[in-house]
Amino acid sequence: MNSENFLDTVRDDNETALSRLGSSKSLYAETEGEMEPEVVFRAAADAEYAASETFGAWADDASAESVRETFADFGDQERDHYEQVVGKLDEGVENHDPSEVPAIHEYLRGLETDPARVGGFLGRTLASEKSKEQMVGFFVGQADPQTAQLFRDLGEDLDGQIERGTELLAEVCESDEDWDAALEAASGAIGTAYDEYTETLEGMGVNPKPVC
């Protein structure tokens, strides 16, 4: 295992989950069926806020200085994302009260080693890219190109995060055990997001599998 084939392995191992997280049903699950702009903004803001909190905490206690610096930067970037998205809400940033922590961030916050955290981060970011794509599509459908571009820009930031995270992974993984821990955490993050997606839709009486 190395940084060049890590992402390919994660994508291959989680092909079904990532595909369904990239379907239109994913946004339906995130909004619990309320496909309205304000609800989409709120779901996005909750996710960005949780990410900023997770990465900020990792920046405080990671083992390697390079990991601390990287996650400090990611935490700041996610905070900026949060402020951009919550600024779209009628209530404004000063009155926004984030909902409960998404399951994927509960999972990530349980990771303790640098390899696992970087791997988990990459898994989370692959899943988050799928969500951003759906939000872009939603606002295109709403004839709101400005907001669609906002989420397109946030998605491009995720591309940069993946590139930097992959480089960092090569630095912190010094053994096969480290690579295994990173791979397990990446798949665990995606699997947790997929499980929440599935449970939410099933709770709404919706089949989470695509209709063929």
Provide the domain limits for residue 29: 3-203
Answer whether residue 210 is part of any domain: no
With tokens 């303790």, the residue in question is 112
Tens of pLDDT along 161-174?
999 999 999 999 99
CATH number of the domain within which 125 lies = 1.20.910.10
pLDDT of the residue at 212: 39
The predicted model gives 19-36 an average pLDDT of 92
pLDDT score at 91:
66
- CA–CA separation, 26 vs 149, rounded Å? 20
Q: Above 90 in pLDDT, residue 24?
A: no
Segment 126-146 shows an average pLDDT of 95
Among 6, 199, 174, which residue's Cα sits nearest to residue 103? 199
CA–CA distance, 195 with 206 (Å, rounded to integer)? 14
More confident residue, 110 or 64: 110
Domain contains 139: yes
**Distance, C-alpha 143 to centroid of its chain:** 25
Tens-digit pLDDT profile for residues 154-208: 999 999 999 999 999 999 999 999 999 999 999 999 999 999 999 999 999 988 8
Percent of the chain whose pLDDT exceeds 90: 83
Domain presence at residue 72? yes
pLDDT of amino acid 93: 62
Residue 209 inside a domain? The answer is: no
The DSSP line for 65-94 is HHHHHHHHHHHHHHHHHHHHHHTTSTT-GG
Sign of CA dihedral 194, 155, 38, 48: positive
Domain tally, the chain: 1
212 found inside a domain:
no
Long-range contact list for 175-180, CB < 8 A, 24+ apart?
176/1, 178/113, 178/115, 179/1, 179/2, 179/6, 179/115, 180/1
